[in-house]
Structure formats: structure tokens, C-alpha cells
Structure 1
Amino acid sequence: MTLDLSRTRSETARLRLLRSFVCLFCLGALPAQGDDLLVSDRLQRLKGMKIQELLDVSVTSVSRRPQKYADAAAALFVISSEDIRRSGATRIPELLRMVPGIEVAQIDANKWAISSRGFNGRYASKLLVQLDGRTLYTPLYSGVYWDAQDTLLDDIERIEVIRGPGATLWGANAVNGIINIITRSAHDTEGGLLELAVGNEERTSGAIRYGLPVGDGGALRVYAKGFERDGSVTRSGEEGGDDWRGGQLGFRADLDLSTEDTLTLQGDYYDGDAGANLARRSGLISAEADISGGNLLGRWSRQQGMDSALALQIYYDQTRRTNWTLTEIRDTLDIDLKQDINLAGRHLLVWGLGYRTTRDDLSTGPGSALRLDPSRRQDTILSGFIQDDLSLANGRLHLIVGTKLERNDYTHWELQPNIRLLWNMATDTNLWAAVSRAVRTSSRFESDSIIMAGPIVISGNPELTSERLTAYEVGLRARPRENLSIDLTAFVNQYDHLQTYKMVGRGLVLTYDNGGDGIGYGVELASNWDLTHAWRLKLAYSWLQMELNSDESASIASIDIYDSAPHHQLSLRSWVDIGSNWEFDTNLYFVDGVENFASDAYVRLDVRLGWRLAPDMELSLIGRNLSDDHHGELSNFRGGSVADGLVYTQVERSLLLQAKWFF
């Protein structure tokens, strides 16, 4: 555990945004000469994707096999490589703001709260996140350490985001959503990339990547990146103490073993430290989290004919994390076998088996209020799934039925079925509906922890059952005009056995319980509109309502914490091409307030001005949070402090100058 009470942070001169920059950005939004626009071949390949081509993009997250985005029977949103480039984002969490139904709130300079369809918070636990097939959540609390999840953004091919359950194919904890980050093949990244950026918040960052052919039909890329980020400020204007720095390196090799067999090998190593301020009776103190880890993944695939394939994936992952509360060392081994089979031209069958074991070593320092018993534990998950996509009515109707059977060491056997229906109403219109069951198993923390918060003791409960969801969804995906697409989803989520606290005996001893239930319902909309050849608008909107209850034995406050997502969210993105070498991109977000977290509604404006200096060189000036000096995106529960005393901070206005050179 690292806790430095006397550590002083060097004062850094902060660049101040000038109003003239904002005026310059606004002038850049004037309509371009759309019909006379001359675009290079490379930019045409990036920018020229029409609405129909977007609908035809191949995705894999919904059915665990390649299919068209338009034919996916789920609430799916795809963040393309061009979305990433023109967003001006430097972190994966910032990219997720554009997705309807996904709640993204920055806690401080290095921490985020991210969830889907409600239940947001620092320890959000109902969202499954994957990077190239490697699961990123920690079994410690069934959530994601977003400060440890990174890759070179230019290497990401797409991010597939499913709102709603996907447990039939992906297993427990894929309850309210799945984020599947997919990087490019090494074949697509041959050559070099050098990237540098400087700014007032993102002080310095840099990355280098190089790819080259290997042998007969193979390719390899290696990369390294590093960054240093300034700290933010608290609500009262004090330094947040949350400055952040880190580095990462990795590789990926894609090898063609034969005409049917391919092999992918990839790995990463990262190291960094993230600061924070803690609230104590004596005042604010500085603390630091040391973060490091690495992973190695291998995936063999064999194409067995049209719509038939076999794949075996194995990965090992180690995480090391030390902060002011806990030291965690975790090793994970995961083996996954999957096969796609085309039966009689009408059945697209996918089945698979999975094995995962995770071993941890947890320790706390002297005087810590947290203890875990036992301090070391190994857990295993065994699973199997099967799903059939039956084609009816000459392919215009698809009935999709499947289930997953899983055995874990906390709640033991879990069955997670789903049934989906896809109707191709017209050439450019698909209607789908689904009924699904998903579970969120209890975590190591909820089972084995003991917290002594003054006179109150909170004890883990190894007898917890899984939190359960039954989801009802219906969606419409259509292209009413050649230059306009609409993706609309409505859903009702019915929850049971939600975790709460209950009093044990007559003392001030609480334990975890399954005393909560309720429903969540809402509407989500995503739309693309090409106004001209040079101007595209992207709209996303979501409305969410939660109605949660707890039984008489549960603490009222504990169930209120779950009602922690904004009712309304809106994003409007504009891409304007100015001549052949300039781009002006604006990203406007509105996020409703969250009463239980004393968080106010806010408007966020991010702007990017891009200049293509040469065929292989790009310069971008990026402004973030231009709508105000600073604002909070998530506050502590009803203004109180969280268990470890972490001080939540404000998101500040910032400016970033970024240069990329492809060689």
C-alpha cells in the first residue's frame, strides 16, 4: 500500500483557453462547398462510407459470428475507426459518450463510472467489457478498472456496444450491456505511425507503432505509448491531487498457417500511477495507486466452409494494483472453444465451451478499515452455450433461440436463455424483438469482505444469490432515405434479488442481502444523416426510468444508490469537411442530473479542427469541455463521502494539440 502524506506536486503553468479560439472554431462550421469538394483517395476511403455501407458493416458481438449490422437482433451501436479519429478522444471511456443508453461520468482525472441502462457508479458491476476477446472486468467487484484499460486508439478497428443482456453467448455479468473492443489485424497496420500531443490537461503524450510483413502471408506490429496528465480541481477549487502518468507497450502477429487456418498472437504490458485526494478528519491527504500488469493471448481459427468455422482462444492475464486501501495481485487463465455450423442452409448454429480460473492475493495495510477473509482465493468458472439462428420465409424471418449453462464458485449453477425474432419487413427496414434472462453473480468483495466504518461494521455474505434480470426489447432499424438511417429501441428490464444491506442482530452490523427488486424502462435512438457530401450529422438520445424497491429488512438508502443514472442523455455530432485538407468536428452532449448523487445536469462541448498538412501527416487542435470552465459529472452519494474517502473532482476545460505522421 502506498500512502504519501507529504508528497508535493510540482506546480504546472496552465494554458488558458482564449475566446478567439472558440470564435475560430465557430467560423470553421460554415457550410463547405459540398459539390466541389476534392478529397484525396485516402480521405475518400475514410470519409466516403455511405449510410448503406454503414448498415452492411460486419459485426460479431450479437451472435458470436460475422453478420451485417443491419441484421443484428439487438440494440447495437458501432463506433468505427473514423468515429474514433474525428472524436478527438484520447481515452476509451471518452469514446463511449456517443453511445445511446451508455452512462459515462468522469469521477476524477483518472477514474470513470460507466454503465448501461442504469446502475452507474464507480463500482458499476453489470457491464461486460472485452478487448480482442479478453475479458477486462475484475472478479474483486465485478467491475472494470478503467484507468488500466488502454490501447493505441489508431489500432482499433471498431467498438461494438450492445445495450441489454448478452449472457446467452457471453456469460454472467453481461447483464445490461457488452462493450467489445476489436483491434485491427496486423495485416492492416503495416508501416509506421508516430503520434505526439501536448496540452494543458493532457500535458504530454506520445505513441509509436510499426508493422511489417512476416514470412509467407504473416504480419507483425509492435507499439509503445506513454502519457502524463495534469490533476483536476475539487468543487471548492482546491487541487484534486489526481494527476496521472503511465506507459504501455505490446505486439500483435497474424499468421496464415494454411488456406483454412490462421493464428493470432498478441500481448501487452502496462505500468503507471494515479493520484487521488482522500477526505480525512484532519483534512485532505494525497495518495497514489500503483498500477501494472500484462497479458498474452493466442487464437487459432479454421474456416470449415461457408458460414462454418472453428476457433480456440487461450489467454493469460496478470493484474497488480496497490492503492491506499488494498493491494491486489490477480492471475487469470481463460480457455474458450467456439464453432459455427451451417446446417442445411437454414440453421446457423453456434456452440462453445469455456473454462476460466482466477487466483488472487489480497492484502491491506495496518490500520485499514478493510479486511478480506480469506486473503487468497482461487475460483473457477465452467460454461457451455448453444444458439440456433433458424431462417424462415425465404430468409425474411429469423428465429434465434439459445441458452448458456454456467457453473461458478459463488452462486453455482446458472441458466441464461434468450429468444429473439428478426423480421426483414422491407429492403431497408428490419424489426426485431427479444426476451432474455441474465444474472450478475456476487463478487469476491461482496462475499468475503469486512469493513469497519467507525461504529458500523459491514460484513460480506457468502450465501448471496445472483442478481437476476428478465429483459423485454423491441427495435427498429431502417433507412427511410438514401442519406438517413434510424435505429430505435424500447425496453423493459425486470430485476429481482438486487443486492442491498440488512441489519444483523441489534448492533450496528450490516451484511449484504438480496432484498431489492424493480423495473427499468426506456427508449434509445441513434441516427445518421448525410446532409451534403461534406457534412454529416450523428444523433443519439436515450430516456431511462428506474423504479426500484427493497423489502423491510433492507436499508432504504442501499436501493436508492442503484437509481444513479440520468433520465435524459443527448449527443449531437457534426462532421464538416472544408476543402480537401480541413475538417471541423463538433461533439455536443447533454446529460441530465442525478438527484441521488447530487449531480447537476450539464452541457459538454468538444471541438476538433483537423488539418492534413501532407498525404501522411495530420495535425489536430482539440478543445474539450468548452461550454464552461469546469463541471462535475458525478458526485458522492447525496453529497456524502464514499467508503474509502475518495474526493470526486471537476472536469475542466482543456486544449490539446495533436500531430500524427504515417510512414
Structure 2
Amino acid sequence: MRELSISAILLACCASVAARETAPEDLTNLSIEQLQNLEIISASRLGQKASQAPSSVSILTASDIRTFGWRTLADALNSMRGLFTSNDRNYSYVGVRGFIQPGDYNSRVLFMIDGQRMNENIFDSANIGQEFMLDMDLVERIEFIPGSGSTIYGANAFLGLINVITKKGKAVNGAQLAGEVASFDTYKGRVSYGKQFDNGADVLVSASHYDTGGVENLYFPAFDAPDTNNGIAHNMDAERSDRLFGRMQFEEFTLSGGFVDRYKRVPTAAYGSIFNDPRSHTYDRQFFTNLKYEKALSAKTTVMAKGFYQGYDYMAEDPYNNLGNYIYHDQSSGRWWGGEAQLTTSVFDRHRLLFGLEYQYDQTQRQFGYVTQPYQIYQDSDLSGHRVELYAQDDIQVLDNLVFSAGLRLDQTHMLKRLQLNPRLGLIWNPLDSTTFKLLYSSTFRAPHAWNLDYNNYYYGLNPTLREEQIKSYEAIVEWHSHGGLKILTSLFYNDISQLLQANPNTYLLDNVGRYHAYGAEWEAEKRWDSGRMFKASYTYSLFTDEARQGIWAYGSPQNIFKLHYAEPLFDNFVKLGIENIYIGDRKAFQSGKADAYNLVNLNLSSDRLLHGLDVSFGVYNLFDSHYEMLVNSDRYDLLHMNGREFRLKLQLTY
């Protein structure tokens, strides 16, 4: 396959090149003070300290990932303040501060790997389960920036931005072999090599395979009848995925690339397909290559330029018997390429300026659907076009302890007929070294994606004009930290969302009829000790109202989210215990009733002191065996019960 060959060549290049560069230290264990001073590139593209960034930043480190045993990006995101995840036994979805939409495929959050956009160009989807591009063992840290701090990135940073920073080869420092066994006949293997050479070159390459049989028997009450196996989907939860990733730094250049493909059998009889039919499955493939050049022209000015080529393929087979037994084949294929140029400078006194230009060419956005018996095409469309974005920002040092941040972004996309102009404003005041106040405002948009544009034509043979979704965000933040390692954050936020794309209740056509308000508050306290002990607690309250339906409580939105994380070294630091507690409040169901609140408790034990170079961890997930409920938007049912207690044993050898 052409894409696989591209990735293989890239990985080989990464492994063979040696050059000069001094790579920064890996961030495996940071104190509160270090986290406060860590440069958060995602917050404004300027590399600001977390305490000075115009946003309420959340950070997870490689040490956190290891301590709590998060298996996927979805696991890690579910632990972060203000975020919650859902799963429909095919894909995982992330909600932000009470907002989640059925079938959204994460299109209203911008996902990045090392600053490179990962949302594909058909559904604008971003994968966070086993179909995500990276193994969690390759992640250095995860940055989450809520919407009011991320709108300089434009489209898809509608609710926020998630940037996954990869490890450098120096952090691996050798060859690594890792293996996992887990519940439900789950196995995973990974081989990686990373090194910083004496002349400064830094290289990381990795490949892995994941395979699970899934839950053998899944019970669906809506299908409890003799002709549908009494509601039991047997051997319908299997999943497998393969990944390749490579990264190499060479002086001012960084070359990276990745490839992932994933197969998932779908047990839910989605879209009215035949229940308990093993032919029902989805297949996803994604790849990217990226070359970035970054150079300091002087002590005050830096330039960055990059180019990329990316692709995404989706295929689903759904069996039906309403007009005879047949299979509907649903296929999508996207290819896009582009680049970015950026200049940052502080040559003017008390100003820190940023100017940037982004370009993306959607080479193809192909959607194709057909049946074979008899052969009939139901969907055949292909789009292409240009996206151009200009952005600028000025951080003005009004006083020694007061910064005014002003940003502006102009977007032109072939998915819309008119230009989009959106500002971001922030006031950051540090009256004390330990205390920061932030007032933030921003607006941004989300353009209809290729499937949105084809939806009405596919179902109704019509092509009405769809407009952009809009959001205006307001937030007030107070951050305080002590010299003893305690950090406290409080936040009040309000989001005004309008022109959201939804089915019009009068015409059933997709239309810009959605209008929502979100009122909320967040609180988080975190303390880290030099010994490795860690305590973090967060609470998010959000009242998310559907203004198009007389201000009722919005479907799928939890009003209360509470999270608690505690880590403790045991037996003279021989073993580290990580305890995670996640409480998600009641959520209103799409048809009637609600999904009950649930409390999820996970435990993880990890040790790297059994043998030199050997890292062992043992995780127990859903300790109290709760079959908690997730919401789905289906004609037959709207609640899915999740798995009970699960176990995982992981071994990693570095040499």
C-alpha cells in the first residue's frame, strides 16, 4: 500500500540520520513550580508559561500516564478537568464543559500531535481510542486548552484544543520491548527505539499491534427476541489495530510521520442493520508526514515553516434484510496537504508579536456508498478546495504585572461562501508572584464538513446552503500556587453557541437551528511532593441549556463532574500506587429518561525496580464492577451498558 510505504520510508530515514542538536530533557516528573513555568506552545503558539498563558491550561505528563495506567488517549482525557468521554462500542467521544453531541466524532475539538492538526477532512473527526495515531507510551505530555484560549487556531478549536506532545528519543534511550495482557483476550505488543546521539541527533521509531476479542456476549434488551438471539450479540466486540510512528530532529529540522489502521466489529446494529451479524464492522486508516523548520534569527525573533501531507480512509459494512439480505458498503477517502509559516518577535519594547499564515489544500474528499446485490450506488461525491488562514497576536506588557493579549484570525475555506473573522482578547494580571487573574473573551466558528454538506442530498436529494457554527466564550480565572507545591484554580465561564448544525424538527433537513448556552464554574486543587506523592481534585459544574427548546437541560450533558487522583510511593518507592476516581453526573437521554450518574474507580500499581530496565504495571479498571451507562442516539435504544471490572498486566523492557 502506498501510504504504508511512505510511512515505512519515513521511519527508515528517521532511524538512519544523525546530526547535531541539543534536545531538551524529557518531562517525566514535574513539580507544581515546574508545571507553572512549563512553556505551553498550544495556548497561543508563543511558548508561554502556563501561569501567563491566556487560557486555563490543563497538563498531563508521561509520569501521570504511567502512574495511573491510562491505556488510550480517551482514558487520559477522561481524567482532565472539564472533560468527559463517551463510547458507543465503536468510537470514543470527548465532551467539554457539558457539551457533547451524538455522532459528533470529536469534530468540535481540535486535536494535534506536536502542533500538527489530526482532524481529518471528511467528518473533521479525531480518533482517541485504539484508532489514535500514538501509543500512550510515546506521549510526553497532553495539553488541553478550553475554547476561550484556543481560538487563534480557528476552525475545529470550537470547544478547545488538545495537543499531544511526543517523547524524544532521549527519553527512551535505547531499545524497548513492551507487552500487555488484559481482560477479554486482549493482547498488545510494541517495539521502539529512541536515542540522542553524541552529535546531537535525536531519533525515535516505534511499531505496535493491538488485538482483543472483546466481551464475548453483550446483552441488548431492545433486541430480546428469539429471532435476534434473545438480545445477545455473540463475539461481536472484536478490535485490532496497528501503528507506526517516527520522529527525528536534525538541527533546525524536525521530520515526523505516523500510520495507523484499525478494524472494529460493531455489535450495536447501528443504523438499523441486522443484529448479531458478524459482517457488521468499520475500518479506519490514517497517516501523516510532516517536516518542520524552526530557527532563531536573533535573540528576539524566531521563524517557523512546515509542510505536511495527510490521508484518511474509512470503510464500513452494514448488513440489512429489509429489502432482501444485502450489505451496504460505506466508504470515504480524504487526502490533503499544505503548510504554515510563522514569525514571532519581541523587537518592539513591551510587545510580543506573532504573525502566521496557514494553507491547506483538500485534494480529495470522496464519499461513496453502494450495495452489490443488485449493484446500486446511493452516494457518490467528491469535493476539493483551498483553506487559507491568517492570524496575528500581540501580547502587550501594559504594566510590569499586567499583560493585554489581543489576537485576530481571518479564515477562508471552500466549505463556506464567506470569510470568517474572529478575535481573542485576554487581560492577565499578576499582583503577586503566587497569584494570577485572567479575563478572557473569544469567538470562533466551525465550518460544515464534507459529510454535513452531503447529508441533505444523500437523504432528501436537496442541497440547501449550510452556514458556519458560531461560539462566543467568556471566562474569568484565578490561579494561585504556593512555594510548597500547592496549586488552586477557580474559573467562571459562559459559552454562547449558535447556528449549530442539527436536524430541523420541521423539515428533518440538516440546518443551522441549534442554539445553546453554557453557564459554569470549575475548581481544581493539585499538590505534588518531591517523594512522588501527588494529589489532585477537580469539580466542574455546567448548566448547558438548549435555547431552541425553551431553555431545557440539554441532552447528554452532565451538570456535575468530580475527579480525584492520588498517587503514593510504597515500600521505599519500590512500587507506586495510583488511584483514580471519576464521577459523572446524570445525563438527559435523547428519547426519554436519563443515564444515571456513575462513579468509576481505577487502581494501578507500577514499579521499575524489580530488574534493571524492566518496568511492570498492573491495573484494575472499574474496581467496583459497575456496568455504567453511556448515551447513544439510536431509534431502538438510547442507553448502552459499559464493561464491568477489567485487568491489565504490562511489562516493558528497555536495554
Paired position in structure 2 for 1:389: 395
**Paired residue for 1:355?**
359
**1:399 counterpart (404, 418, 422):** 404
Instruction: After TM superposition, list the pairs within 5 Å mapping 1:443-462 onto structure 2.
Output: 443-450=449-456, 457-458=459-460, 461-462=463-464
Structure 2 CA distance, aligned partners of 1:512 and 1:537? 46
Partner of 1:572: helix, strand, or coil? Answer: strand
Match of residue 589 from structure 2? 596
* Contact kept in structure 2, 1:489 and 1:525, CA below 8 Å: yes
Is 1:609 matched up with 2:605?
Answer: yes
Contact 1:581 1:611 in 2 (8 A): yes
For residue 94 of structure 2, the aligned residue among 114, 120, 132 is 114
Aligned pair in 2 of structure 1 residues 383, 270: CA closer, same or farther (>3 Å)?
same
Distance 1:585 1:167 in 2: 31
Q: What are structure 1's unaligned runs of at least 5 residues?
A: 1-44, 257-261, 551-555
Question: What CA deviation, in whole Å up to 9, does each residue of 1:593-614 have, x standing for no partner?
Answer: 2112442211111101122313
- Residue 255 of structure 1: which of 242, 247, 250 is its match? 250
Deviation readout 1:224-280 (Å, 9 max, x if unpaired): 111112323345564471211111112111101xxxxx1011111222311102434
Q: Which has the higher contact order (CA 8 A, sep 6+)?
A: 1
Tell me whether 1:229 sits opposite 2:212 in the alignment. yes
CA displacement, residues 83-117 of structure 1 (integer Å, 9 cap, x when unaligned): 11112012111100111111211222x42111322
Structure 1 CA distance for aligned equivalents of residues 29 and 140 of structure 2: 16
Cα distance change on mapping 1:212 and 1:480 into 2, 3 Å: closer
- Residue 378 of structure 1 aligns with which residue? 384
In the alignment, what sits opposite 1:80? 61
The offset of 1:47, in angstroms, is: 7.6
* Structure 2: 5+ residue stretches without partners: 1-25, 222-231, 318-328
Q: Does 1:653 align with 2:608?
A: no
Residue aligned with 2:438, SS: strand
Alignment-mate amino acid for residue 163 of structure 1: P
Aligned residue in 2 for 1:32? none
Match of 2:77 among 64, 89, 96: 96
Cα deviation, residue 372, structure 1: 7.4
- Count of residues in correspondence between the two structures: 594
Deviation at 1:465, TM superposition (A): 1.2
* Aligned counterparts, 1:214-613, within 5 A: 216-232=199-215, 233-236=218-221, 238-239=233-234, 241-256=236-251, 262-279=252-269, 280=272, 283-286=275-278, 287-324=280-317, 326-358=330-362, 359-366=364-371, 375-394=381-400, 396-411=401-416, 412-450=418-456, 457-458=459-460, 461-480=463-482, 482-502=484-504, 510-530=508-528, 533=531, 535-550=533-548, 563-578=555-570, 579-597=572-590, 598-612=594-608, 613=610
Contact 1:120 1:562 in 2 (8 A): no
Preserved contact between residue 372 and residue 445 of structure 1 (Cα < 8 Å): no
State the Cα distance separating 1:54 from its structure 2 match: 2.0
The answer for the alignment partner of 2:182 in structure 1 is: 199
2:122 to 140, 148, 151: 140
Aligned in 2, Cα 1:537/1:291: closer, same or farther, shift over 3 Å? same
SS at match of 2:276: strand
Q: What is aligned with 1:37?
A: none
Q: Secondary structure at the match of 2:452?
A: helix
Secondary structure of the 1:405 match is: strand
Name the stretch that deviates more: 531-540 or 81-90.
531-540
SS in 2 for 1:637: coil
Q: 1:46 to 1:384 in 2, by over 3 A?
A: closer
Separation of aligned partners in 1, 2:27 and 2:197: 27
How far residue 138 of structure 1 moved from its aligned partner, in angstroms, is: 2.8
TM-score w.r.t. the length of structure 2 is: 0.85
Secondary structure at 1:285's aligned position in 2? coil
The residue matched to 1:217 in structure 2 has which SS?
A: coil
Whole-angstrom distance in 2 between the partners of 1:539 and 1:290: 38
Aligned to 1:50: 31
User: What's the offset of the Cα at 1:442?
Assistant: 1.1
Residue 627 of structure 2: which of 626, 630, 634 is its match? 630
Kept in 2, the 8 Å contact 1:253–1:265? The answer is yes
CA contact (8 A) 1:167 1:404 kept: no
Distance, in Å, in 1 between the alignment partners of 2:180 and 2:382 is 42
For residues 270-311 of structure 1, what are the alpha-carbon distances to aligned partners after superposition, in whole Å with 9 as ceiling and x for unaligned? 223111024347643231122223221100111123342111
C-alpha separation in 1, matches of 2:376 and 2:441: 40
- RMSD (CA atoms): 2.8
Deviation of the 1:450 alpha carbon: 4.3
Give, in whole Å, the separation in 1 of the partners of 2:82 and 2:176: 34
Give, in whole Å, the separation in 2 of the partners of 1:313 and 1:105: 34
| AA in 1 matched with 2:253 | L
Give 1:269's aligned amino acid. F
- Give the distance between the partners of 2:516 and 2:51, measured in 1 at CA: 32
* TM-superposed deviation, 1:515: 2.2
Letter in 1 for 2:447: T
The equivalent residue for 1:176 is 159
Task: Indicate the larger mover: 277-286 or 321-330.
Answer: 277-286
Instruction: Mark the CA change 1:460 to 1:73 in structure 2 (over 3 Å): closer, same or farther.
Output: farther
SS of 1:335's equivalent in the other structure is strand
1:414 Cα deviation from its structure 2 partner: 0.3
TM-score normalised over the length of structure 1: 0.84
Give the % identical residues: 19
CA apart distance, 1:527: 1.7
